[in-house]
Amino acid sequence: MTVQRQPNSFRTGPDERGHFGIYGGRFVAETLMPQILELEAAYAKAKADPAFKREMDGHLANYVGRPSPLYFAERLTAHLDGAKIYFKREDLNHTGAHKVNNVLGQIMLAKRMGKLRIIAETGAGMHGVATATMCAKFGLQCIVYMGSVDVARQQPNVLRMKALGAKVVPVESGSKTLKDAMNEALRDWVTNVGNTFYCIGTVAGPHPYPMMVRDFQCVIGNETREQIQTLEGRLPNALIACIGGGSNAMGLFHPFLDDKDIDIYGVEAAGHGLNTGMHAASVAGGRPGVLHGNRTYLLMNDDGQINEAHSISAGLDYPGIGPEHAWLNDVGRVTFLSATDTEALAAFQLCCRLEGIIPALEPAHALARVIDIAPNKPKDYLMVLNMSGRGDKDLASVAEHLSAIL
């Protein structure tokens, strides 16, 4: 895409119809439209209510365990001998990933709306676990749709969801991964529209989801701003995060979008390599189209049929990206890079050995790019990587690929 004229602020979107430039919107069946309008109104009301924020802040502090630390990765920094690297430790949240920030907000909203049946889709299972967790805490019914391929490769998370009282429904249609789980969740929602709240796990879907999920995840970037000021007395030089749908990245990036000197990098999953066609890099290898309620970059063929995504990381294995990211790419504010399965595995190992942190395979993709960016930067170049989740769930799939090591 050609780079559009830069706006005065990158933080004003979406417009009242949910558009970020040409992206976003509300491309849903009529059955869901009244529901989406109701959600939009309920969210606007909650957002303006100080009591909602107070309650949320309380749960974030005492249940999720926020603020998450901003950790100086000292040995990794010494090893790469360049930029000073910090990890935003979302992996230390209750449930082990950033997903819980958003789920807390949506479940509180569902409860306010009187919707006591919660449905969710999940890829790696982290969003499913977070949803199951919050439903247990708030006493709501929880049904999680998960592609059968993901059910097989993320067994620990399936067991966690079941232990938490959720019903996990394996999805056998299409590619049997995240996109099909989302189709199935939408079918459930169309069918049970009256009593059901669809808790979407990323900054995608019909308006208001991309905006609402972003708002709930912005706690990541807001905390980072304060923490880096305390630690370094200034803002960072760069932010970097992995992107599937892009909620952890949006949460970190959004509070910094108007600090125009800060370099911002999103890292997509290049799977077996961008030139193989076996990847999940929607910006690098896709084009704008319409799926799951929004217009955004999508992997598809020349007839507009959606292609299957491929990534070792189930959390990045989705053929699209949040619409606000699509716009940030087109206006040139965020630079999109990618990392292959192999590169992510190498970064995973390095992080384990140097920092004693087992990263999820998702942020390992972002770490793979830190490994080549950091050595070319001066020592006072501050980079913040969003360590969006922990890797315990990935040990089985890592072991398959690294049998010599584990």
Partner 1 sequence: MFGSRQCASSGGGISTERMTTRIDRQFTALKAQGRAALVTFMTAGDPDTDTALAILKALPAAGADVIELGMPFTDPMADGPAIQASSQRALKAGQNMKKTLAMVREFRAGDDSTPIVLMGYYNPIYIYGVIKFLADAKSAGVDGLIVVDLPPEEDEELCLPALKAGLNFIRLATPTTDDKRLPAVLANTSGFVYYVSITGITGTAAPDASRVADAVTRIKRHTKLPVAVGFGVKTAEQARAIAQGADGVVVGSALVDALRATLDADGRAGASSVNAVTTLVASLAAGVRAAKRGN
Span near partner 1 by CB under 8 A; candidates 98-106, 182-190, 351-359, 372-380: 182-190
Does 355 qualify as catalytic in the annotation? Answer: no
Question: What is the Cα 142 distance to its own chain's centre?
Answer: 20
How distant is the alpha carbon of residue 13 from its chain centre? 18
Q: Is 179 in the site for partner 1 (CB under 8 A)?
A: yes
Identify the CA nearest to 286 among candidates 295, 272, 276, 297.
Answer: 297
Residue 381 interacting with partner 1 (CB under 8 A) = no
As measured in angstroms, the least distance from the Cβ of 30 to partner 1 is: 5
* 26 near partner 1, judged by CB under 8 A: yes
Q: Which stretch binds partner 1 (CB under 8 A): 179-187, 224-232, 274-282, 310-318?
A: 179-187
Six token digits for residue 211: 């905006």
199 to each of 53, 115, 225, 307, 398, how far by Cα in Å?
Answer: 19, 11, 28, 25, 29
Task: With CB under 8 A as the rule, give the number of residues binding partner 1.
Answer: 37
Residues 183-222 that bind partner 1 (CB under 8 A): 183, 186-187, 190-194
The minimum distance between CB 25 and partner 1, in angstroms, equals: 6
Does 27 participate in binding partner 1 (rule CB under 8 A)? yes
Q: Which two tokens stand for residue 242?
A: 């992995």
Query: Do the Cβ atoms of 58 and 50 come closer than 8 Å?
Result: no
Candidate residues 13, 14, 21, 35; the one interacting with partner 1 per rule CB under 8 A: 35
Catalytic-role residue among 88, 388, 393, 397 = 388
Look-up of token digits 């609402």: 212
For residue 120, list its beta bridge partners: 144
Q: Give backbone dihedrals phi and psi of 86, rounded to 5 degrees, phi first.
A: -115, 145
CA angle 327, 273, 269 (to 5 degrees): 45
Is residue 30 at the binding interface for partner 1, with CB under 8 A as the rule?
A: yes
Residues 302-341, one symbol each (x = binds partner 1 by CB under 8 A, - = not), give xxxxx-----------------------------------
> First vs last Cα of the chain: how many Å apart?
43
Q: Rounded to the nearest whole angstrom, what is the least distance from the CB of residue 42 to partner 1 in the complex?
A: 16
Question: How far does Cα 331 stand from its chain's mean position?
Answer: 21
Query: Which residues would be at the binding site for partner 1 (CB under 8 A)?
Result: 17, 25-35, 173-174, 179-180, 183, 186-187, 190-194, 287, 289-293, 298, 300, 302-306
